[in-house]
């Protein structure tokens, strides 16, 4: 059974990741989830735990679970690492080699393909710093997907929207079957 590691960051679109995790599990994948602290403001780890059937990883220094090298274990185990949704913040951190939480530290150790699905307000998405970080990630071999256009959570219309979750599942499964 292939392991797909899903990194969830603090964007309003994180509710769509619940469906992604649910579908991947139904399709026979072992799904492990890492959430950033901000992501937990939007959705609880319990939701992802229930959908994935696995303990959700949130904390680098969790004394209960002794995750001393959990980031390496997860990085080795994953056939694919998918960050969905990916905030401007996490894109910037990865592009600049910052590893200050469980998600970014595990990305740093990843040997599998890493798929990144940005999602943010179009003003943020079109910021040249964000665009430069995306280009940098692509240069290093990360697979950064285009955003969709349409009405955003804040009511603005433009780019930066996370594609439909069904499309994202298709992309993930395409990579898993390569
Ligand atoms: C209601 C709300 C919605 C947000 N949505 C987004 C978003 O869609 N994309 C994004 O890049 N940041 C968004 N943010 C800001 C991030 O949560 C913030 O930059 C945070 O530091 C990201 O942390 P993380 O990358 O570690 O998850 C939102 C913040 C709030 C309060």
pLDDT for 125? 96
- Of the residues 72, 96, 131, 154, which is catalytic? 154
Question: Which residues approach ligand 1 with their CB closer than 6 A?
Answer: 9-13, 36, 38-39, 87-90, 119-120, 124
pLDDT for 75? 82
pLDDT for 13? 96
Helices 102-109 and 70-77: crossing angle in degrees, nearest 10, is 50
Catalytic annotation on 154? yes
pLDDT for 117? 98
Q: What is the CATH number of the domain that holds 34?
A: 3.40.50.1950
Number of domains, the chain: 1
Q: Please tell me the distance between residue 11's alpha carbon and the centre of ligand 1 in angstroms.
A: 4
Q: Which residues, 6+ apart, have CB-to-CB distance to 141 below 8 Å?
A: none
Length of the chain measured in residues: 178
Q: Rounded CA gap, 150 and 138, in Å?
A: 24
pLDDT tens string, the chain, 178 residues long: the values are 999 999 999 999 999 999 999 999 999 999 999 999 999 999 999 999 999 999 999 987 776 555 557 788 888 889 999 999 999 999 999 999 999 999 999 999 999 999 999 999 999 999 999 999 999 999 999 999 999 998 888 888 888 999 999 999 999 999 998 7
The burial of 28, by beta-carbon neighbours within 10 Å (0-12 exposed, 13-18 middle, 19 or more buried), is given as exposed
| Nearest protein Cα to ligand 1, atom 6 | 11
Residue of 33, 42, 89 to mutate, ligand 1, most atoms within 8 A of C-beta: 89
pLDDT for 65? 58
* pTM to 2 decimal places: 0.95
Determine the structural domain holding residue 141 and report its residue range: 3-176
pLDDT for 157? 84
Number of neighbouring beta carbons within 10 Å of residue 92: 17
Residue of 7, 9, 10 to mutate, ligand 1, most atoms within 8 A of C-beta: 10
pLDDT for 59? 84
| Nearest protein Cα to ligand 1, atom 14 | 11
């Amino acid at each position: 059974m292939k392991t797909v590691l899903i990194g969830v960051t603090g964007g309003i679109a994180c509710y769509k990741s619940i469906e992604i995790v649910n579908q991947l599990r139904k399709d026979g994948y072992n799904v492990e989830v890492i959430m950033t602290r901000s992501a937990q403001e939007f959705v609880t780890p319990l939701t992802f735990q229930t959908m994935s059937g696995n303990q959700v990883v949130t904390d680098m220094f969790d004394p209960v679970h002794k995750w001393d090298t959990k980031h390496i274990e997860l990085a080795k185990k994953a056939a694919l690492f998918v960050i969905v949704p990916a905030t401007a913040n996490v894109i910037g951190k990865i592009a600049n080699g910052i590893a200050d939480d469980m998600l970014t530290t595990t990305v740093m150790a990843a040997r599998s393909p890493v798929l990144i699905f940005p999602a943010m307000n179009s003003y943020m998405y079109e910021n040249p710093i964000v665009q430069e970080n995306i280009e940098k990630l692509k240069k290093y071999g990360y697979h950064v997907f285009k955003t969709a256009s349409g009405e955003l959570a804040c009511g603005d219309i433009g780019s930066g929207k996370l594609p439909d979750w069904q499309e994202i599942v298709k992309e993930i499964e395409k990579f898993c079957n390569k």
